[in-house]
Structure formats: structure tokens, C-alpha cells
Structure 1
Amino acid sequence: MTSSRFMPTYTALELTNFLSYKSARIEFDDLVALIGPNASGKSNLVAALKLLRDIPTYGLPLAIARRGGYDQLRHRSQGRPNDPAIRLEFRYGPGETGFYELALASLKGKRYRVKRERAFLPIIDNHPDSFVSDGATVHSVEWDSETDGPPRSEERRVPVAPGQSALSTGGFPAHLIQLALSGLQTVEIHPARVGELQEPSSTAEFDPVGANTASVFDALDTAARAKIVEQLAAIVPGIVRIEPRVYADKRTLLFVQRTAHGNREFLAKQMSDGTLRAFGILLALAQPETPGLIVIEEPEVAIHLGALQSLIEILQAESRTMQVVLTTHSADIVDELPVESLRVVWSDTEQSRVANVSEHTRRILRDGLITPGALLRADALDPES
């Protein structure tokens, strides 16, 4: 994977007692699609990635508050709440797998403490940087390979404020984990937010709902803009140009579309929801600070069935430079993806589960007896047990 930032390849996410999951592990690839019925747990997997993404941006207390508070994160089994933990695994290059792990414990008044926070980063000549925290003190080991002779390690012990993450204490391992978590991004485009007149905003990061599309598009170079226009024209025939527009202190975009009566100009608010959603997704993929892993929630919503194939082809091409995770109910999307890319999410009594498609089902699909989309429509895409 390549990126404008120093990003790892994300390999897996493990959840313990987190929201609807008692114990779950999902393995990532270049492109992965989460499929399953409503209320099965897809959104809770995404919520875990959002929490991780928010920690370096807002700090742990606010990251938890943005997910509804600590008590809301806890999985309940037979009515009893349990303490949650998250583990994100990743790899830099072909080497050993590293990880970041966060486990929380309960205090009175629905408050929490950090029970355990650990990181392992095998980056320098097989000498891993690492840290471990008990919520009060963080112990880190950092290797220096810039000096003459073999790499040398330096150990640091630093106090951690109650309820805070060890990532706030500084140090090279914490810095690398912050970069890794910052490389996660989720996108759920709201066409109304794309179409409205927008305040000027920072262009370093695409807003998850598309509320800063005008500023982000304006910041792109000519080649990047042309690429988005070309991609959008494959989804929405006739698009020939997109231009930033400024009205007083607000920003928007002008779309130029070829019609039977010549080129016509439309402001963003005049475009269809499907066009704005597709544009927002394409812009998220092209944003200046390219994410390492991007989650796109239900890309099929409001997009014409005939355009979905073009959109999926674009997502498959972009997954060569960043990892892409989709949540979807679309059998048409599922039919465009290899079965190895599918992750089945379902609810089993009091918990959600996630797994690859079963080998038995894969054999049926390899024999061409039925398509993955047909099995999805029949609720018969069986997961591995």
C-alpha cells in the first residue's frame, strides 16, 4: 500500500465485549465488504474503527464520549455489562505483524479507567519499538538505529493522567501508533451536506459526511480534479467539468453536464442525490491526505443500478493504493467482488459475529451453480463456523 503518510497495511481487528460483540476478529485485505442484515453488527464494527481514529485526534475521553460514553460501549451478556477491549493489527512492509491494544475497566458512576494499553511495532531491523501502560504509567522501549554500531534501546517511564491514553505521553512508539490510527477513516456521504453552500474549511481531511467537498476539491491539483471528472462521467454520463464557486463567504461546486441541447451548468444543490453521493465517494478517495484504510458505508444508496458496476470497478482500482472496506446490502455489489473479499456479519442470540464465507459455499460459487448475490438475496451466504 502507498500513501502520502507513513501508513501500515492493516491486517485485522479484534473486539472483546465491545457493543454487540462478545468476541470477534475480522481480517482485512485490499478490499473487503461487510454484508449482513440490518442490526446484525456491521455498524458496530465501523464504530470500533471510528473510536480508534478519534483517539489521536480528540484524546481518549472525548473519543469515548463521541461514541455515546463508556457505558454504551460495553457488551451486555444476559443483562450484565462487560469491560471492552480493542486490538488493531497491522504490518509495515513484509515483516512481522504489530498491534495496538486498548482494554478498559469500569469505575463507579459509569466511568472507566484504562486497564491495559499496549503497542508492538517491529519496524527497525527486527528490533521492535513498544510500550505498555496500566493506565497510570507507560513503559516504552525505543530503538535507535541512527548511531554507529548495532541498534540500541532506550527505556522510558512516564506517568499517564487518569482516563487518558498513553498516546498522549509522546515518544516514538506512541507517535507511530497515532499515525496508524489517524490513517483510518469512515465515510457516509449525506447528499444534502454535499449540495448545500459550505463554510470554507480545512482541506487536510475529507469530512465523513461530505460537508467540506468544495474546499477539498478546490485544493486538488489539475490532474486530480480531471481524474475525478473522468471517474464521475463513468458513473453519471455526460459530466464534462466540475468547478469551484464562491458566493460571498460560502463555497459550492458547479457541475457542467452534456445534454441533447448542449452543455448545461448546475450548482451542486441542483444535482441528484446519487450524483452527489458518487462524487463524494470519489473525492474521499482522492483527498490530499490519503487514508490508509477507508470505510465507505452503503455506497449503493441512491446510485442507479447501472452505475454500481462502474463505481465498484473504481473502488477495486483505488484499493491498490489504499485499503477499502464497504458495508453493503447490495447483491449487485456482492456479485462484482471475489468471494474472498466478503465478510458475513450476523447476530447469534445475544451477540454479533463476523466471519469469511464458508468453504462449502465457496465451492458452490466456484462451480458456477449460483452467484454470491443470489445467495445474499436468499440469506444463504453461510459463514465459516
Structure 2
Amino acid sequence: MRIERLRVQGYRSLADVTWEPGALNLLIGPNGSGKSNLLRSLQLLSDAANGHLAEGIRRAGGMVPLLWDGQTSTLAWEIDLASPSGSGHRLTYKLVLERLGASGAYQIELEQLDIASADGELAKTTMKRRGESSRMIGEPALVIQGREIEPAHIRQAETLLAQAPLTNQPASLLTARQYLTDWCIYHDVRVDMESEMRRAQVSRLEKRVEPDGRNLIPVLHTLYTTDRNFKIEIDEAMRAAFGPDFDELLFPPAEDGRVQLRVRWRSLRREQSAADLSDGMLRFLFLITVLASPEPPGLIAIDEPELGLHPSMLPIVAEFAADAADRSQVILTTHSPQFLDRFSNRAECTTVVLWEAGQTVLKRLSAERLRAWLKHYRLGQLWLSGELEDAA
């Protein structure tokens, strides 16, 4: 599955935006235009599917700071999901949250899951909830341990999508939940000296880096030592970034069943520990591990991947991102013209994020005008010149 169309209303600067992302997506625009807000709105939707909606809103400080300019009392998402090939049924999931009075609390005003045919014709609604009323339509009843859920048994602050058991449910519901909960959205990833990435970790089988990056070492240990192709990709990327002196990654045991990360250099007698790596090197390892994953999530979103990286590393990250888009839907925000230049041959994947009349506006680039400009300029040059805003 992948996002075919997304509409967000009332979330921070996203008063009312509709976006049709592709497999690979670059979000560009000035500071404060709303790029990070778009990623955070996706994170909150994933939290809702995970059963962590209340926690996500609490972390944000309640409903008040989430609502656009105090002019609305509702947050709403409508997302169309389809297979990358465009065949088969399409799913549309709608979720509307209503602020309760003047407080920071909320209620779920509407939740609905529809199935449509490949041509967009509505086939049926499999789940609908309005306020405290909920039902499954034309499918087995929503049950927990063999009993139909009554309103009193539903956690009103969480979605039905999250609370449905794994058995005796419509395939559409389980597909939507699995896809939305599978997303990995990376922002505010720490690589400083206090980062968990630098510390020995309990040795365990893990194949996916968490949104805060804290389990990078277990994931690297798992994939690097068990997947030959992954090891080759990481080794080649490290040599491309740091030269032929790089030899390999090592994972010696530490106390209490923990494992360390070390880097072996051909010119040094002693391996370099994760605690001694530069911030840029650690961030580079994090990025290529996420993007080279042999079992990626359905959606990978990374906020400003260029942060802390030497310009020579940006083409490598861009190549990994383009390859990852063949296996997953990839969203990257960036402020770097050098990074953007690496996608000049895929300029149609760029979305310009602008701030107009107090709200975020998303504009896809005009492919026809871009083709003419890219005969003479690189994509990053066009952005610096301001021409990309005119092309959108």
C-alpha cells in the first residue's frame, strides 16, 4: 500500500491541504512554511492507528496548540491508500477530532473506513463511528474475546482502527491498520555525545530503526551480520563517504549481554567506538541503515537528512533514498540546494511548501516547465533563484 491522496485540515499551519505524493517525495520551502508540520500530522495519524492517539496529543500539550490559529475546533484527516501498481481496491480512512469546549481535551467525532474499486467507485463502508456510536457494516461485528463491543467497552479517546482485534475482522480494516502503524517518521534524531546511539545496547534481533534512532546498534548488528547484501551496501557507502581506509563495522560483546558498535580503519591498530565517532559519521550511518533496510516500512519520512553531513555525503544519501523508493514510499524535507541537485533527473518528485495568508500551501512542480529549465540549470539552482515557486 501507499498514500495516493492525503487531506489534512486544522492541524497547526495545515488549515486545509491536499497532497498527492509519489513514491519519492522532496519537500522544500522556507523555514516556518509547514514542512515539519506535515510530517508531524502523519505521525499523529500513525499514533491514532497504533492506539497512542491520547498520548500523542498529550505530548503536544493538548488540542489547543494543535489547532490552526485558534480558528477551528476540529482536526481532520482523509487518506486514500492504494497498491503501488494501482490495481485492486482502494481504501479511504477518515478521522475527525473535535475539541471539547475551551479545554485541551477532545473526542473522536467521526471515524470511517471505505473500500472503493480501482476506478474510485465506492464499494462499501466497513467501519463507521460518529461520536459514541460505532458499527461494522456488512462484515462480522467488532468483537473482543468473542463479544461484540458495546460503546461502554470502547476507549473513547482511541480509534476503533486501533482497538479492533486481529481475528474476525474485515481484511480492509486489518490492512489499513497494518499500513498506518508501519510508518517510520524520523525527526529530532539525536547524534550528540549523550545519544543512545553511542552506547552499548542489549543484543537482540531488530530490523527497523525506531523514530528516535535509539536502537541503531541492534539493527545494524542484526542486518550487518546476517544479510550479506546489506553489509556490502553499508561497506560501499562508508568507503564512498570516508575513503578506502574504512575496513568494516564490528560488534564486540560488552557486559550484561550488550553489544557495542566499532569501526575498523585499515590505518589504525585500534577500532573506533561509537562514542568516538563524529556526529556526521553517526548520522550518516543512521541514514543509510534506514534507507538500505531490506524490509522497509510502508512509509519512510526523514526531516532534513542533510543536517550535519559534509556535502560530499549528500549524493550517497540521495542515491540510497532513490533506491529505497522502489521498496517504500519516501518523504524527505530539505533546505539543501546541493542535496536537491542530486534529484534533478527526478524533479517531478518535488513539492514546494509555502506560507500564504497565514497557512501552509503545497504545490507540485509543473513538469513541463521544469524540463525546459533543467536543460540549463540544476534543481538546487532553480530553488535558490526562486523560480521553483513560480513553476509550482
Query: Per the shorter chain, which TM-score range?
Result: 0.7 to 0.9
Aligned-partner Cα distance in 1 for 2:312–2:207: 33
Aligned-residue offset at 1:272 = 1.8
Residue identity matched to 1:91: A
Aligned-partner Cα distance in 1 for 2:309–2:260: 21
1:221-253 per-residue CA deviation (whole Å, 9 max, x = no partner) reads: 141333322233223323221112332245430
Aligned to 1:3: none
Which of 295, 307, 316 in structure 1 is aligned with 2:313?
307
Between 299-308 and 59-68, the greater mean CA deviation after superposition: 59-68
1:12-35 per-residue CA deviation (whole Å, 9 max, x = no partner) reads: 221111110111012221110000
Which of 16, 26, 29 in structure 1 is aligned with 2:9?
16
**Is the CA contact 1:195–1:252 (under 8 Å) kept in the aligned structure 2?**
no
Aligned to 2:159: 165
Aligned to 1:248: 255
Is residue 233 from structure 1 mapped to residue 235 from structure 2 by the alignment?
A: no
Pair 209,232 (structure 1): closer, same or farther in 2 beyond 3 Å:
farther
**Is the CA contact 1:358–1:383 (under 8 Å) kept in the aligned structure 2?**
no
Is residue 217 from structure 1 mapped to residue 216 from structure 2 by the alignment?
A: no
Residue identity matched to 1:349: A
Structure 1's unaligned 5+ residue stretches are 1-7, 143-152
Structure with the largest fraction of helix? 2
Aligned to 2:96: 103
Aligned-partner Cα distance in 2 for 1:328–1:303: 12
Structure 2's unaligned 5+ residue stretches are 143-147
Residue identity matched to 2:288: L
Q: What are the equivalent positions in structure 2 for 1:155-304 lying under 5 Å apart? A: 158=149, 159=151, 160-167=154-161, 168-170=163-165, 171-172=169-170, 173-188=172-187, 189-192=189-192, 193=195, 195-200=197-202, 203=206, 205-220=208-223, 221-223=226-228, 224-238=230-244, 239-249=246-256, 250-258=258-266, 261=267, 265-287=271-293, 290-304=296-310
Pair 306,25 (structure 1): closer, same or farther in 2 beyond 3 Å:
same
Give aligned-pair identity as a percent.
25
TM-score normalised to structure 2 length? 0.84
Pair 270,289 (structure 1): closer, same or farther in 2 beyond 3 Å:
same
Pair 19,80 (structure 1): closer, same or farther in 2 beyond 3 Å:
same
Residue identity matched to 1:29: G
Aligned to 2:333: 327
Pair 384,371 (structure 1): closer, same or farther in 2 beyond 3 Å:
closer
Is residue 379 from structure 1 mapped to residue 368 from structure 2 by the alignment?
A: no
Aligned to 1:147: none
Residue identity matched to 1:342: T
Aligned-partner Cα distance in 1 for 2:205–2:158: 27
Aligned to 2:130: 134
Aligned to 1:91: 82
**Is the CA contact 1:194–1:276 (under 8 Å) kept in the aligned structure 2?**
no
Is residue 60 from structure 1 mapped to residue 67 from structure 2 by the alignment?
A: no
Aligned-partner Cα distance in 2 for 1:186–1:117: 23
TM-score normalised to structure 1 length? 0.85
Aligned-residue offset at 1:130 = 2.1
Structure with the largest fraction of strand? 1
Aligned to 2:109: 115
Aligned-residue offset at 1:255 = 0.7
1:34-85 per-residue CA deviation (whole Å, 9 max, x = no partner) reads: 0011111001000011112222334321132233322222112xx5343110
Between 215-224 and 243-252, the greater mean CA deviation after superposition: 243-252
Residue identity matched to 1:178: R
Which of 20, 29, 32 in structure 1 is aligned with 2:22?
29
The alignment yields a C-alpha RMSD, in angstroms, of: 2.6
How many residues are treated as equivalent by the alignment?
A: 362
**Is the CA contact 2:292–2:324 (under 8 Å) kept in the aligned structure 1?**
no
**Is the CA contact 2:200–2:254 (under 8 Å) kept in the aligned structure 1?**
no
Aligned-residue offset at 1:123 = 8.3
